[in-house]
């Protein structure tokens, strides 16, 4: 029963929350950035609705899905957490790399993206110069996470059972 | 030099390169 909860439900929820997190990340990078760039060129600019109604809601799911994804990943690792993060066992090297990439991405969400998005969205006070800087930092942190999502996903799917054997040998 | 993260193509290309580098690093660590 514990294995069912630990590995079955745990992995299912890890992937479910991960889809919400990375889905929102890809929405920002593939859709919203370009949509806002085009909206800013309209006369008058037409991106206010996205900034007021869409972005805050997307960021809400984005940042909390990031926490839940990481927490479920840690739950699955359980007492093997240090084997993965400290690369103590050869078999845990792929998931260890994936876990580190996910951890860096979580850091970027809460330390770089969300505090700067609060300035951009007007949830905290900021001068126009501070907002301009916040836009650049949040953009680059978001793009960094998009870049890291490529190897992160690779190491997540190549980390167990027949998948690890196929990718890294027996 | 232009920052590759300023374009989507550059972002995903950088992701692919990083994947390849980490893959071969992992294989080496695992003695595969």
Q: Where are the domains of chain A?
A: 2-168
Torsion of CA A160, A147, B20, A70, to 10 degrees: -20
Q: Whole-prediction pTM value?
A: 0.95
Instruction: Inspect the interface and report whether the beta carbons of B26 and A147 lie closer than 8 Å.
Output: no
Q: Looking at chain B, which residue has its C-alpha nearest residue A30?
A: B8
Spell out the SS3 assignment of B1-32: CCCHHHCHHHHHHHHHHHHHHHHHHHHHHHCC
Torsion of CA A34, A37, A40, A43, to 10 degrees: -70
Percent pLDDT > 70 in chain A is 99
Instruction: Inspect the interface and report whether the beta carbons of A154 and B11 lie closer than 8 Å.
Output: no
How many angstroms separate the CA of residue A93 from the nearest CA in chain B? Answer: 7
Q: Are A125 and A8 in contact (CB under 8 A)?
A: no
What is the tens place of the pLDDT at every residue in A53-93? Answer: 999 999 999 999 999 999 999 999 999 999 999 999 999 99
The ipTM assigned to this model is 0.96
How many angstroms separate the CA of residue B9 from the nearest CA in chain A? Answer: 10
Query: pLDDT category, A45, cuts 50, 70, 90?
Result: very high
Q: Which of B3, B16, B30 sits opposite A93 (nearest CB)?
A: B30
- Residue B11: list chain A partners with CB under 8 A: 29, 143, 146-147
| pLDDT of A101 above 80 | yes
Query: pLDDT category, A170, cuts 50, 70, 90?
Result: low
Mean pLDDT confidence for B2-6: 96
Q: Does B28 touch chain A (CB under 8 A)?
A: no
Q: Is the backbone of residue A45 left (phi > 0), alpha (psi -120 to 50) or beta?
A: beta
């Amino acid at each position: 029963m514990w294995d069912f909860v630990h590995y079955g439900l745990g992995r299912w929820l890890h992937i479910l929350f991960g889809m919400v997190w990375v889905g929102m990340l890809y929405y920002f990078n593939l859709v919203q950035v370009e949509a806002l760039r085009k909206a800013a060129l309209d006369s008058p600019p037409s991106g206010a609705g996205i900034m007021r109604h869409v972005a805050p809601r997307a960021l809400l799911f984005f940042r909390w899905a990031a926490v839940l994804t990481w927490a479920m990943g840690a739950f699955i690792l359980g007492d093997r957490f240090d084997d993965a993060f400290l690369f103590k066992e050869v078999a845990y090297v792929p998931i260890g790399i994936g876990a580190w990439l996910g951890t860096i991405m979580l850091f970027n969400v809460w330390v770089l993206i969300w505090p700067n998005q609060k300035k951009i969205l007007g949830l905290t006070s900021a001068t126009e110069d501070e907002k301009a800087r916040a836009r650049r930092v949040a953009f680059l942190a978001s793009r960094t996470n998009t870049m890291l999502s490529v190897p992160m996903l690779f190491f997540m799917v190549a980390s167990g059972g027949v998948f690890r054997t196929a990718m890294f040998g027996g | 030099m232009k920052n590759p993260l300023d374009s989507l193509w550059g972002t995903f290309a950088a992701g692919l390169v990083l994947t390849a580098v980490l893959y071969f690093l992992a294989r080496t660590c695992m003695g595969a």
